[in-house]
Amino acid sequence: MMRTMILAVLLGALGGGTALAQGNDKGAAVDQPGAEASEKKICRRMQVTGSILAGKRVCHTKAEWAEIDRANQDALEQARRSRGTR
């Protein structure tokens, strides 16, 4: 149950991070030689809910992943706090 809730929070936050990333200029700094290391795309494999084998590859910059991770952590902490108030 807890594992499912955490997964739902993480996937929800990833969806929000993807929407933020779409507003950016796609790959403008990545294609330029000498771009900063923080602009390099980092890909993670995400588990698809309801499937053992299927996975989705999600790519973002280091800064975007940091924002996504922070949002996920905030959502998890909020879920933990609200669970205790019931």
- The whole-number average pLDDT for the span 40-67 is 92
Helix H segments across the chain? 2-22, 62-84
- The whole-number average pLDDT for the span 47-68 is 92
**Position 38 pLDDT exceeds 60:** no
Predicted confidence band of residue 83 (pLDDT cuts 50, 70, 90): confident
Q: Per-domain residue ranges for the chain?
A: 39-72
- What pLDDT does residue 16 have? 52
- What pLDDT does residue 28 have? 45
Whether this prediction's pTM lies above 0.85 is answered by no
Predicted confidence band of residue 50 (pLDDT cuts 50, 70, 90): confident
